[in-house]
Amino acid sequence: MSPSEQQHLIIVGAGQAAAQAVQTARQGGFDGSITLIGRERYPPYQRPPLSKKYLAGELARERLWLRPESFYRDKDVRLELGVAVERVDRDRARVHLSDGRALDYGYLLLATGSRPRRLEVPGAELRGIHYLRAIDDVDGIAADFAPGRKLVLIGAGYIGLEVAAVAAQRGLDVTVLEAADRIMGRVVGAEISAFYARYHAERGVHIRCNTPVTGFAGGGRVEGVETPAGRVPCDVAVVGIGVVPNVELAEQAGLACDDGILVDAFARTEDPRVLAAGDCTRHPHPLFDYRVRLESVQNAIEQAKAAASNLTSAPRRYDEVPWFWSDQYDLKLQIAGLARGYDESVVRGSVEQRAFSVLYLREGRLIAVEAVNSPRDFMAGRKLIAAGLAASRDDFADAADLAALAARAESARDKDNNKDDKD
C-alpha cells in the first residue's frame, strides 16, 4: 500500500453520519484523501423531513442536501454515488464495488445505516404498498396521495404517525393499524401514547391497536389489508414497522455484530482500521448498563464525530445524552434519555393546552423526559439526565421551572469537579 493509500479514508454510506464524518475529519486536520460511497444517486441528505415537509410538498428536494456538492469539492472529497460496496477485504484493506472496481483504504468508516423491516405476508408484492426510507420512496408515496383515497398505515411509530398527519391534512381517509396495544409503544410512555391517539382521532385518523396484519388483497394493486378482524379497504398502504441495521457488510468482513456493528465508546471496531457510526452500530454508554443501538440524527452526528476524531490527534468519547424528536400536526415531541426501568413518572404542564412533559425517574434520578410543545422542560431534562441529580418526586413535579433544578445540578457537578481537581 502506497503512503497515499495509507491515509485514504473510505466512508461506506451517504447519510448524516457520513457527512458529519467528512466535516469533523477535515476540521480536525485530517489531510488524507476521502472517498464517500453511496448506493443512492443523491449526495448525503436529511431523512427526518422525508415523512413530513418533503412528503407534504413543502420542501424542495435540493433543500434536503446536508451540504451543497461544492462542499465536498472544497474539502477534496470524492463522491462515488449510485454504486455499492459489495465486499470488504480486511487482509488487503480493500473494498470491492458493484461496478467491478476495487479501492484500497487506510481507514474504513462503515456508516451503512438501516433499512425498513419488511412485512412478509401474502400479497406483499402488490403495487401501491410502500415503505419509507429514501427520497425515491417518498416520491412514490406522494404520487399515490390524492384527496379522498383510502390510506392504510401499518405501524404506529414515528414514521407511520407522521405520514398519517400529512395524509389527514391532505384530505385522505386514513386508518392506522398497530399490532401492539398502544401507539408509539416502543418509544414513549402510556401518557404520551394516549394523548397522541386522541389528537389523531380528533383529526379524523382511525387508529386500531391490537390489530396485526395477516396479508394484502388485490388484483395487481392493493385493494385491502387483511387482519384477524376482517379486511380493511384501501387504495394505498404504507408499512412502517421499524428498521433493520445494515450489518451484512460488517458480518462478511468478520466484524462482531449483534443487532448492530459492535463498537466502543470511540466508534472503533476490533479492527483498528475500521470504524462504524450511526443506525448500524451498537455501543456502550455511560448512562446505561447495556449496549444501545440508537436510531436518531443526534446519534449519527455525535458518533460520527467520535469516529472521525480517531483520524486526528484528539480522539473523543461519545457519551452525550441521546435525544429524539417527531413533528405531527402542530405538535413537537422531544425526547431525551431512555425510559427503561423507571420506577416513577411525573407529569408537568397542561395536557389540555397541549404543552406538557412526562419525566421518568429511577431511584430519584431523572433518566428520561418526553416533552410535547415544552422545549424548556426538554432542554432542562437533558441537563438533569447528564448530571445525575437525585431529587424528590415533589422537587421534579413542583419546580416552577425545571431549569432551576438543572442549574442546581450543574452547580453541584462543577463543585465536585473543582474538588476533584484540588484533591
Question: Is residue 407 predicted with pLDDT exceeding 70?
Answer: yes
Torsion of CA 339, 342, 345, 348, to 10 degrees: -40
Write the pLDDT tens digit of every residue in 28-77: 999 999 999 999 999 999 999 999 999 999 999 999 999 999 999 999 99
Question: Is residue 396 predicted with pLDDT exceeding 90?
Answer: no
Average pLDDT over every residue of 341-351:
93
Read off the pTM. 0.92
Helices 402-422, 375-387: inter-axial angle, 10-degree rounding: 30
Q: Give me the phi and psi of 8, to 5 degrees please.
A: -90, 120
CA distances from 348 to 194, 336, 360, 371, 393 (A): 16, 15, 11, 9, 12
Write the pLDDT tens digit of every residue in 136-174: 999 999 999 999 999 999 999 999 999 999 999 999 999
Write the pLDDT tens digit of every residue in 222-246: 999 999 999 999 999 999 999 999 9
Q: How much is the pLDDT for 399?
A: 66
Confidence band of 414 (pLDDT split at 50, 70, 90): low
Question: Is residue 421 predicted with pLDDT exceeding 60?
Answer: no
Sheet bearing 355-362, strands edge to edge: 323-328, 331-337, 365-372, 355-362, 344-350
Helices 190-202, 158-169: inter-axial angle, 10-degree rounding: 20
Question: Is residue 20 predicted with pLDDT exceeding 50?
Answer: yes
Average pLDDT over every residue of 92-103:
98
Q: Which three cell numbers stand for residue 87?
A: 465486499
Q: How much is the pLDDT for 23?
A: 96
Average pLDDT over every residue of 297-313:
94
Q: How much is the pLDDT for 349?
A: 92
For 142, counting Cβ atoms within 10 Å of its Cβ (0-12 exposed, 13-18 middle, 19+ buried), the class is: middle
Q: How much is the pLDDT for 1?
A: 44
C-alpha to C-alpha distance for 63 and 46, rounded to whole angstroms = 9
